[in-house]
Amino acid sequence: MQSISQKRLVSGVILALLAMYILPNFIEYSTLSLLIIYAILALSLGLIWGFGGILCFGQAAFFGLGAYSYAVFAVNIGESSIPFILAILTPALFALILGAIMFYGKLSDVYLGVITLVVTLILFRFANSTAGPEYAIGKARLGGFNGMPNFHTLNVPGMPDVYIWDLDFYYVCFILLIICFISLYFLIKSSFGRICIAIGQNEQRIELIGYDVRKYKTIFFGIGGGLAGLAGALYASWAEIVTPGLFSLSQSAEIIIWCIVGGVGTLSGPILGAVILGLLKYYLGQQSLVDNNLVIGSILVLFVLFLPNGLSPALANLWVKITVKTKSRRPNTRRKKVSRAVRGIHNE
């Protein structure tokens, strides 16, 4: 079991590296970079929701916080390495504190949704209200609804003058996505990850076994926050400006939709969902015939109705069906594996 899934991981990574070189021939690399940033953002929710059962309606809060932290520190420090790390740590810490309040306070899932939503709204309103000169952190003025331009974008570590632009930036994003994916793969296979998955399934049983569920959920939530922060830092470098729109509810909603369409309970699903829907949004944005949100909304409804487990499990299913027809003489055992894949959890 273990070796089969690790073989799949290796072949998946090789495929991803191939795709990394081939894709720029078809799609602009700056668009690709954005899609990859979205994919990392989607992974951050896909992790805590799909594996920890924590549905956060405000994942955009950590994304925006990461982007703003990066911008603020980059303005003050004048290079990108330390701001980059702080842009991960700040939202992670924020998520840890918020998580501790929610999980130690024994909030029910519904209230968790409400609170994360409200926190996002507050950050959005706050970021919008910081136009005055008094809203400055060190040299960095937050700039209200106009946002913050003019900060130091990503550079080669230790060489502030050597910026990472264009195609190089795309490669950096892609490699980071692969690193995130592999790290999360091993995280969910670890004892800690397995306990978190079990908590997502039956919190009380894990409490009865003797684990402090609050602690595990808080840490897991913090990891998700840090990952969203990483996406935010990359986004800041990509856009060269951060605006309050990063904290918007539509951004949060989009992340949830990516996960649903791609497949909650898998790692590949959120990536797939973010890339496909991101690309669709990009192309739809270039025309004015149909409304963007209408199309994305319709897709969501179709998926919820007809493919509730999402794309990734469906594709895995299809793949197995094809290989069973052409190769395997043991369709029964194969099919059993598929049903597990469809249930999520075991199919990474």
Partner 1 sequence: MSNIILETHNLSMKFGGVVAVDNVDFTLRENELRCLIGPNGAGKSTFFKCITGLHKPSSGNIYIQGEETTHWHTHEISHLGIGIKTQVPNVMDGLSVWENIWLSARRYNDVKNANRRVDSVIERIKIGDIAKRLVGELAHGQRQRVELAIVLAADPWLVILDEPAAGMTGVDVEIMIDIIKEINRHAAMIIVEHDMQFIKSIADQVTVFYQGSILMEDNVDIVLADQRVRDVYLGRKV
Residue 205 binds partner 1 (CB under 8 A): yes
Residue 333 binds partner 1 (CB under 8 A): no
Tokens in use for 132? 């005055």
Residue 204 binds partner 1 (CB under 8 A): yes
User: How far, in Å, CA of 116 to CA of 310, rounded?
Assistant: 24
Residue 334 binds partner 1 (CB under 8 A): no
The residue (of 196 and 275) whose beta carbon lies closer to partner 1 is: 196
Out of 43, 87, 102, 213, name the contact with partner 1 by CB under 8 A. Answer: 213
Residues 12-71 within binding reach of partner 1 (CB under 8 A):
none
Q: Cα separations (Å) of 229 from 46, 71, 85, 224, 248? A: 14, 12, 9, 9, 15
User: How far, in Å, CA of 199 to CA of 207, rounded?
Assistant: 8
Task: Name which of 330, 109, 93 is nearest 218 in CA terms.
Answer: 93
Residues 156-195 within binding reach of partner 1 (CB under 8 A):
191, 194-195
Residue 282: Cβ-neighbour burial (10 angstroms; 0-12, 13-18, 19+):
middle
Out of 7, 125, 139, 343, name the contact with partner 1 by CB under 8 A. Answer: 343
Query: By rule CB under 8 A, what count of residues binds partner 1?
Result: 21
**Candidates 173-181, 197-205, 230-238, 247-255; binding stretch for partner 1 (CB under 8 A):** 197-205
Out of 207, 283, 297, 304, name the contact with partner 1 by CB under 8 A. Answer: 207
Phi-psi region of 210 (alpha: psi -120 to 50; beta: other; left: phi over 0): left
Out of 133, 158, 210, 285, name the contact with partner 1 by CB under 8 A. Answer: 210
The residue (of 102 and 275) whose beta carbon lies closer to partner 1 is: 102
User: How far, in Å, CA of 156 to CA of 144, rounded?
Assistant: 30
Q: What are phi and psi of 69, to 5 degrees?
A: -60, -45
The residue (of 93 and 195) whose beta carbon lies closer to partner 1 is: 195
Q: Give the footprint of partner 1 on this chain (CB under 8 A).
A: 191, 194-195, 197-198, 201-202, 204-213, 340, 343-345
